[in-house]
Every structure is written in structure tokens, then in C-alpha cells.
């Protein structure tokens, strides 16, 4: 029986895609200057660091510039023994990025499993501590299979619900949120809510994984450092006031809280309430957009979408976020019959010219009164009508030229690279040695018992336990 390792054709093709992306886009540095961090892998002896051999070697990047991260002791030992000239570090990526201040031009996170809070937080550290250089490449690879309900819910709020808030305004938004709130209070499952927002689990993943990475990178320090929240830092006084205004409503369902918050009423204060139900700081910003909407009522000569985008840009500049300049997305089926989603991003710092433009347009005004309530006006409309509109539009246009995500959005669908899964012959018999070998490359006792004759699930589990124990002793 063929051994299943990372040495498989479709995985090879995915490495080729990464190599080509680096060669195409990381052109502002000479190969000798490029610093890389990756999970080189060492699934079997003789197959160490295939990513280094098939990607970075071919790009001409010296091995001495490469950090190989590995969380597994056996794999790490194999990598060291292979003596490939890399810097090998035995540590979980999450902890590494949390602790380090080292910056890289390529960060490649070739995970085996699904995206969880840990992988998300890893991106937060990369964004918040500015560990990727401008023009740098970030690769993430995750297994995609049916997510647990909490994960689906999490994606739902980060994705479709935030899209509703972002893309709809006024009564259309309120209507949609009302409907979602109604479904939610009736205990409807995620799929029913998804349907209402025109989404399915595939688009949900796009938002929960790929878009989330873009959002976190755009947020820069925002998600990591509460003090860098734009409102706290820039609008301290106003922020206090918003918190007070948000203090009067009670909490029902999460979406109701959100609705109330959008109506500028909330019990615990805006920040705590959003973060309580798993939101990111980005959501805080939507509340600011709501305020903008009120501002728009006073100054209808400017399109609200433009203003909202502009405020997003402003927040980004403040928090040193990065823009996604290039994006390629691939899916494939691994030889373990796992569907993978690989995103390759190039992120850039906000171009200086754009920062100046935004600074020119936005200015903070002290507390204002509108609609009989106290609040703030973030955009004071520094310029008179036609001039302002022209400037805002030009700035947003320029931004879209730099940000591929904002110009193309979710149209960047993944390309399927194929499958290297060969289902084993059903009902053939397996030996104990073969079974142990299969388990060592990730098969579970249940999978083997289902596909082969010879042993029960319990027997296989016992082999596995025995193997693990004897390995520990030796």
C-alpha cells in the first residue's frame, strides 16, 4: 500500500502556486534579502522540508534566511537531523508570533487542520505587531470540512451579518437585521439565517477565513491593543459619550444587541457588549458608521458609502493596517481525502500619498447635537460641497486601485487544483504493521476499521496506544 505523506502531486502543485506567486509579486527585494518563516514539514525521513526544496530554493532564497517552525517533537528532530541549513524552532506558531519581534517577507502557515481561534489569533499577532514587511506574502492553508455550530455562528457574525451592516443603510438594514433577529430568537439554525443573507457554507468560509484574514491585517493594531482603538485614542471624550448613550438598552439576543447598538442604545457600553459576543474591534467601527449616517442626514451631498469607506481608511491608517494587494485562492483534496483551502496574499502598507489625502479630508469636530441627541461628527466636511465629493471619490478610487479585495471583493473564487486521494481497496486485508503505519500518517482507528478487514476499531486503538507508549519510553 502506498504511504501517504506530503509528497503528493496536488500538494506539489500547491507549492508551485506559492513559488510562482512569490516570483511574480515579491519583486521589490532580491532573493538574498528575503526572510521566510514556514512549517517545512518532516512527515517521513527523506521527505523533510519539501516546501523549502520546492518553493524557496527555486526562488533563490538562501536557506540561512529561512526559519522552520515545527510543533511536533518527532518532526522537529527529523528536520534537525536532515541538516538542511535552516533555523529550526520547536514551537507552536501562535506562541512564536506572540513572543517574537522578528519581521518576515514571507509567512507561510501550512496548517493541517481547520481554522480555530488559535490560527485567527496568530494572524492578529502578525498584524498587530507588524511582523510582515510591506509587499510581503502571507500564505494560509486550512482544512475545510463541516464546521461545528459555534464556528459556523462565529463565521456568520463575522461574515454575512457584518456584510448586511456594511452594505445596507437606513431602513433596509434595519429590516434585514429585524428578520435575522426574529429567526435567531426562534432558534433557527445557521443555514436559515444564511439563506436570508444570500449565503451558503462555502461563501461563509470565504468570509470566515479569507476575508477575516484581510480584515485582521487591515485592522493592524486594532484587534490586539485595546488602547489603539480609534475611538479610545482619537475620540476619547466622544467615546465616553457614546458609551453613555449606548447604556440605556437591555440585551436579548446577540443580534438584538447589535440592533440596539446600531440605534445607539446599549447596556454595557459599546466596547464590552460587542466583544462579549465574540466580535472584533472592527465591529466597533460599524457603530461609528452609524454615526456617520446621522452625519449624512445633515450633509446629504456626499454618498454615505464613500464616507464609510473613508472612515475605514482612516481607522486603518491610525492602526497601521495593511491592504491586501494581491490574492490567489486554491482548493484541493489531499491524499488523506481532506479538502484544503489555500490563500496566498500580498499585503502592502497604505501608500503615503493616500495617507495624506485621507488626513486632508477627515478632521475631528467636538461633540455635536443632531437629531436632538448628543453625538459626534467624525467628518466635519472640511471642503465645500462639489470639492469634497470630488476629493472623497478620488481617494476611495485610489484606495481601490491598491486593494484588490476592495476592487474585486469576493469574486476571487478559489481555483480547484485537483485531488490526490486514492481510496484504498475496500475489504482488502491489512497487517498490523500496515495499520500502524496508516495511523502514524493520520488515519484514525475508525477509518481503518471501516476500510479494511482484519482488525476491529478497539484492536486498532490498542495498537496505537501501545505504539505511542513504547515510543515515549524509548
Ligand X SMILES: C[S@@+](CC[C@H](N)C(=O)[O-])C[C@H]1O[C@@H](n2cnc3c(N)ncnc32)[C@H](O)[C@@H]1O
Query: Which residues contact ligand X by CB under 6 A?
Result: 6, 15, 39-41, 50-51, 69-72, 75, 92-93, 110-112
Could you tell me the smallest distance in angstroms from the CB atom of residue 56 to ligand X?
11
In terms of phi and psi (left: phi > 0; alpha: psi -120 to 50; beta: otherwise), the region of 230 is alpha
User: Could you give the CA distance from residue 43 to residue 32 in angstroms, rounded to a whole number?
Assistant: 28
CB-nearer residue toward ligand X: 110 or 260: 110
Could you tell me the smallest distance in angstroms from the CB atom of residue 16 to ligand X?
11
Could you tell me the smallest distance in angstroms from the CB atom of residue 163 to ligand X?
29
Could you tell me the smallest distance in angstroms from the CB atom of residue 96 to ligand X?
7
Give me the sheet containing 322-333, strands edge to edge: 87-90, 66-70, 36-38, 104-110, 132-143, 339-349, 322-333, 415-419
CB-nearer residue toward ligand X: 56 or 235: 56
User: Could you give the CA distance from residue 211 to residue 155 in angstroms, rounded to a whole number?
Assistant: 10
CB-nearer residue toward ligand X: 168 or 441: 441
CB-nearer residue toward ligand X: 125 or 235: 125
Closest residue by beta carbon to ligand X: 41
CB-nearer residue toward ligand X: 100 or 251: 100
Instruction: Output the CA torsion sign for 221, 226, 228, 232.
Output: positive
CB-nearer residue toward ligand X: 38 or 317: 38
User: Could you give the CA distance from residue 424 to residue 452 in angstroms, rounded to a whole number?
Assistant: 8
- Using only C-alpha atoms, the chain has a radius of gyration, in whole angstroms, of 25
CB-nearer residue toward ligand X: 161 or 340: 340
Could you tell me the smallest distance in angstroms from the CB atom of residue 34 to ligand X?
17
User: Could you give the CA distance from residue 312 to residue 143 in angstroms, rounded to a whole number?
Assistant: 31
CB burial readout 94-108, b (16+ within 10 A) else e: bebbbebeeebbbbb
User: Could you give the CA distance from residue 320 to residue 220 in angstroms, rounded to a whole number?
Assistant: 5
The three-class DSSP label of residue 227 is helix
Could you tell me the smallest distance in angstroms from the CB atom of residue 113 to ligand X?
8
Three cell numbers written together for 395: 481617494
Could you tell me the smallest distance in angstroms from the CB atom of residue 24 to ligand X?
19
Could you tell me the smallest distance in angstroms from the CB atom of residue 349 to ligand X?
27
CB-nearer residue toward ligand X: 74 or 189: 74
Instruction: Output the CA torsion sign for 101, 137, 146, 275.
Output: positive
DSSP string, 264-328: T--SS-HHHHHHHTT--HHHHHHHHHHHHHHHHHH-TTS-HHHHHHHHHHHHHHHTT-EEEEEEE
Amino acid at each position: 500500500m502506498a504511504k501517504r505523506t506530503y509528497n503528493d502531486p496536488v500538494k506539489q502543485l500547491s507549492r508551485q502556486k506559492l513559488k510562482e506567486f512569490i516570483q511574480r509579486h515579491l519583486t521589490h527585494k532580491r532573493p538574498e534579502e528575503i526572510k521566510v518563516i514556514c512549517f517545512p514539514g518532516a512527515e517521513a525521513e527523506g521527505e523533510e522540508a519539501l516546501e523549502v526544496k520546492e518553493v524557496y530554493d527555486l526562488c533563490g532564497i538562501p536557506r540561512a534566511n529561512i526559519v522552520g517552525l515545527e510543533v511536533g517533537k518527532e518532526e522537529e528532530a527529523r528536520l534537525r537531523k536532515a541538516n538542511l541549513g535552516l533555523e529550526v524552532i520547536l514551537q507552536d506558531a501562535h506562541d512564536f508570533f506572540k513572543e517574537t519581534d522578528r519581521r518576515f517577507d514571507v509567512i507561510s502557515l501550512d496548517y493541517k487542520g481547520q481554522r480555530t481561534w488559535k490560527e485567527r489569533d496568530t494572524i492578529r499577532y502578525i498584524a498587530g505587531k507588524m511582523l510582515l514587511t510591506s509587499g510581503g506574502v502571507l500564505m494560509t492553508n486550512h482544512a475545510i470540512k463541516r464546521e461545528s455550530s459555534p464556528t459556523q455562528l462565529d463565521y456568520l457574525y463575522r461574515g454575512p451579518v457584518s456584510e448586511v451592516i456594511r452594505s445596507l443603510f437606513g431602513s433596509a438594514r434595519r429590516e434585514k437585521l429585524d428578520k435575522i433577529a426574529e429567526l435567531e430568537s426562534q432558534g433557527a439554525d445557521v443555514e436559515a439565517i444564511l439563506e436570508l443573507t444570500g449565503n451558503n457554507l462555502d461563501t461563509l468560509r470565504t468570509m470566515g477565513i479569507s476575508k477575516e484574514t484581510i480584515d485582521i491585517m487591515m485592522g493592524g493594531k486594532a484587534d490586539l491593543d485595546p488602547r489603539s482603538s480609534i475611538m479610545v485614542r482619537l475620540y476619547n471624550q466622544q467615546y465616553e459619550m457614546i458609551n453613555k448613550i449606548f447604556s440605556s438598552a437591555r440585551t436579548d439576543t446577540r443580534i438584538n444587541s447589535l440592533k440596539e447598538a446600531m440605534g445607539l442604545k446599549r447596556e454595557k457600553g459599546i466596547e464590552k457588549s460587542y466583544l462579549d459576543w465574540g466580535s472584533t474591534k472592527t465591529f466597533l467601527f460599524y457603530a461609528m458608521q452609524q454615526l456617520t449616517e446621522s452625519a449624512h442626514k445633515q450633509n446629504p451631498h456626499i454618498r454615505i458609502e464613500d464616507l464609510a469607506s473613508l472612515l475605514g481608511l482612516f481607522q486603518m491608517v491610525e492602526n497601521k493596517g495593511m491592504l491586501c494587494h494581491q490574492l490567489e485562492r486554491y482548493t484541493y483534496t489531499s491524499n488523506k481525502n481532506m479538502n484544503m483551502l489555500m490563500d496566498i496574499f500580498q499585503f502592502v502598507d497604505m501608500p503615503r500619498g493616500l495617507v495624506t489625502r485621507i488626513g486632508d479630508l477627515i478632521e475631528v469636530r467636538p461633540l455635536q447635537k443632531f437629531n436632538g441627541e448628543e453625538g459626534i461628527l467624525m467628518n466635519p466636511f472640511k471642503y465645500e460641497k462639489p470639492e469634497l465629493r470630488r476629493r472623497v471619490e478620488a481617494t476611495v478610487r485610489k484606495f481601490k486601485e491598491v486593494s484588490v479585495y476592495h476592487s474585486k471583493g469576493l469574486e476571487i473564487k478559489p481555483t480547484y487544483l485537483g485531488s490526490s486521494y486514492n481510496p484504498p481497496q475496500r475489504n482488502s486485508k491489512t497487517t498490523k504493521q500496515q495499520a500502524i503505519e496508516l495511523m502514524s500518517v493520520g488515519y484514525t482507528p475508525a477509518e481503518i476499521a471501516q476500510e479494511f478487514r482484519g482488525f476491529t476499531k478497539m484492536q486498532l486503538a490498542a495498537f496505537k496506544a501501545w505504539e505511542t507508549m513504547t515510543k515515549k519510553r524509548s
